[in-house]
Amino acid sequence: MGSGARHSTPSGRHLRRGVLACCAAAALAAACAAPQSSGGPGPAAPTSAATSSAGSGATNRSPSVPPSDDAASPPVPEPPTGSAPGDGRAATFTIVSAGDVLPHASVNRAAQRPDGSYDFVPLMAGLEPWTAGGDLALCSLEVPLAPPGEEVTAYPAFGAPDELVAALADLGWDGCATATNHALDRGLPGLRHTVDVLAAAGLGYVGTARTPAEAAAPQRYVLERAGRRLVVAHLSTTLVLNGPPLPAESAWSLGTNVAVLVAQARLARQTGADLVVVSMHWGTEYLGAPDATQREAAATLAASGQIDLVLGSHPHVPQPIEHLPGGPDGTGTWVVWSMGNFISNQDSVCCVPETATGLVVTATVLAPSGFPARVTAVDWTAVTVDRAGGQRIYPLHALSTAPAPGVTLDAATLADRSARVQQVMGSPERTVPPTSTGAAPEVQPRRGE
């Protein structure tokens, strides 16, 4: 798999993924062939999305017609690592992402051991079938880590313990978007330390950087499928910031503007990327629909013809999924406007009720033999937090059908949360996790193009 770093260890992603696959293979084989899932929008139908039935649910799918000879996509140089000819089979894989990783003080307390160290794995283990079952799992790391020797802090200026990253790696995440409004909560030392710890854990990272060359480069992941080396380029920026901007001499450390993002995506394709995923930290907190700024930025990204998938964060509540016109060869760009929260302490006590929920999204990628890789569907699964039950997160549908031991959420609360997510998303959710289609991805070292 080349010389790129991988975060898996004998007790990490490979083993966990294998155990999950073996235990669930029979059940998932039938379920995954016809997932009860959809990537539908809210009240309005998505633009350019074809909808088809799949069992008792509906899945939004994009047209998967190979590009014509006169497609508008310009020729690109021979890719150095991706798009190998393959063995004649169609290649397929999934990309999984989720809402904000936002460890408030109560989350940190729930994870703290008697000796003062932290273990976040039990808090997030309920979603491991998704994070370990997806072929490429990209998290939304809202907060920086506390610099070495400094105190762990939470809202309003976050500084998480290093063990948070170890837990993400252990649960199957391959990398994270780090461009957020909280990225500078602990200053440049916190920003750089966060990147150092992610890199040391073998996780990819994008959106914050230690050098200008690193800032200009996407995070690349290589997946070997059907005899092809398929390269996914991940980019990230934030349209919202807390406090004063960075000094000019270090402005490159955090995010960029949309025009530069498009240029980076174009260069990534010219240098071998088969697919470009962009994580956008944007929008209005607690608003269940995209605002004008989100729509303007997404339209620009889609119209560029360079972006396959946009993953939104920051509003802390779920927002719809939409298929916008544009995208590579005119096949469209999928936009998840907001994935809400993954792990946090937010719910109706502090905020709006919808903050107690979030989305795990599963994007299906298909690369027919001899044709480009394209995202053909984006499904959603609702997640929820049980604050009183140890700050643990669970798939919402699973609790509604068979509550887990120790869960404090009653049936009425679960039904209300489920109804609120359903009202926003507008179509059935995916209720089975993805199953890996091959080896764990190669996480390539960051470097300038």
Helix axis angle, 292-303 relative to 258-270, nearest 10°?
Answer: 30
- What integer pLDDT is reported at residue 243 of this predicted model? 83
DSSP string, 121-143: HHHHGGGHHHHHHSSEEEEEE-S
Q: Which phi and psi (to 5°) does residue 408 adopt?
A: -100, -5
434: pLDDT strictly greater than 50: yes
Confirm if 294 and 281 have CB atoms less than 8 A apart.
no
In the predicted structure, residue 256 carries a pLDDT above the cut 70: yes
Q: Identify the burial level of 10 via C-beta atoms within 10 angstroms of its C-beta, where 0-12 means exposed, 13-18 middle and 19 or more buried.
A: exposed
- Token readout for 223 is 């997946």
Q: DSSP string of 320-362?
A: -EEEES-SGGGS-EEEE--BBEEE-S-STTTS-GGGGEEEEEE
Using CA atoms, how far apart are residues 403 and 396, in angstroms rounded to an integer?
Answer: 10
Query: Is the model's pLDDT at 7 over the cut of 80?
Result: no
Residue 25 or residue 255, greater confidence: 255
Residues counted in the chain: 449
List the structure tokens of 262: 């498009």
Does residue 252 register a pLDDT over 60? yes
Residue 121 has pLDDT above 90, yes or no: yes
Record the pTM: 0.84
Say whether 5 sits in a helix, a strand or coil. strand
pLDDT value of residue 244: 81
pLDDT over 50 at 198, yes or no: yes
* For residues 67-89, average pLDDT: 46
Q: Which CATH number fits domain 13-60+79-443: 2.40.170.20, 3.30.470.30, 3.60.21.10, 3.90.1420.10?
A: 3.60.21.10
Which segment of 58-67, 106-115, 389-398 scores lowest on mean pLDDT? 58-67
Give me the residue label for tokens 């480009």. Answer: 372
Burial 45-84 (b: 16+ CB within 10 A, else e): ebebbeeeebeebbbbbbeeeeeeeeeeeeeeeebebbbe
Over residues 214-227, mean pLDDT: 98
